[in-house]
Chain A
Amino acid sequence: EAGVTQFPSHSVIEKGQTVTLRCDPISGHDNLYWYRRVMGKEIKFLLHFVKESKQDESGMPNNRFLAERTGGTYSTLKVQPAELEDSGVYFCASSQAGTGGRDYTFGSGTRLTVV
């Protein structure tokens, strides 16, 4: 079984540009989550999808961030326009319906550097 796949693994962009991160969850996992770790700080929840619906987006920092999950499969997280403080590692995770947070699988993350 393939795990949670994220790409790109690294991205370096200039301030003001747009970047799109992608996450492919484990096949059949209805729940998909995005987290972010800004350097030196804790890993923080961004949002949660159940299939294609946003269940909780309380952690999204501002309206420069847009997450989608069309068709309930892969998800994208777009940052537009990127700012310096957006630099960090973005993690995606997925879990089966009914297991919630008790049984996450995380991806390897995308390291975003905004210069």
Chain B
Amino acid sequence: AQSVTQLDSQVPVFEEAPVELRCNYSSSVSVYLFWYVQYPNQGLQLLLKYLSGSTLVKGINGFEAEFNKSQTSFHLRKPSVHISDTAEYFCAVLSGTYKYIFGTGTRLKVLA
């Protein structure tokens, strides 16, 4: 069965510092991987997705992620965070053709 592990439940980081949110997956088949963000009191918004092609995926708001098949990882990075990036971030893998398996989420807290 497929699964997603987000290793950090909370990540505090100072404004303008870089951040990496970790995600590992388990899958025996081809993977489609996603990062979603949930800002306070809002819904889930797609940050970026890996379907095929280049392993470095660029998303919205300056975020990027790298698909690493050998490490079974899809870590999310941003070189310089802003206060407005404070949110909860979810990694997900597509199971089959339509069902997502989500990780437990990582709360990013950007400190002034």
- Any chain B CB within 8 A of the CB of A88? no
Residue of B43, B100, B103 near A107 (CB, 8 A) is B43
Cβ contact within 8 Å between A101 and B97: yes
CB nearest to B103 among chain A residues? A42
User: For chain A, what secondary structure do more than half of its interface residues adopt (helix, strand, loop), or is it mixed?
Assistant: strand
Cβ–Cβ < 8 Å partners of A100 in chain B:
94, 97-98
Chain A interface size, under 10 / 10 to 19 / 20 to 34 / 35 or more: 20 to 34
Interface of B: prevailing SS: strand
Q: Does B63 contact A (CB under 8 A)?
A: no
Q: How large is the interface on B (under 10, 10 to 19, 20 to 34, 35 or more residues)?
A: 20 to 34
What residues of B have a CB within 8 angstroms of the CB of A107 in the complex?
A: 43
Binds A, one of B15-23, B44-52, B73-81: B44-52
Q: Which residues of B contact A6 (CB under 8 A)?
A: 43
Contact B44 A101 (CB under 8 A): no
B104 pairs with A104, CB closer than 8 A? no
A12 within 8 A of B: no
Known A106-B43, A108-B42: A45·B100 in contact at CB below 8 Å: yes
**A–B Cβ pairs within 8 angstroms, 18 of them:** A6-B43, A40-B104, A41-B104, A43-B44, A43-B102, A43-B105, A44-B102, A48-B98, A56-B98, A56-B99, A91-B43, A95-B98, A101-B100, A104-B100, A106-B36, A106-B44, A106-B45, A107-B43
| New A-B contacts (18) at CB < 8 Å, excluding given A40-B104, A43-B102 | A6-B43, A33-B99, A35-B102, A42-B102, A43-B44, A43-B90, A45-B101, A55-B98, A91-B44, A101-B98, A102-B32, A104-B100, A106-B43, A106-B45, A107-B43, A108-B42, A108-B43, A109-B44
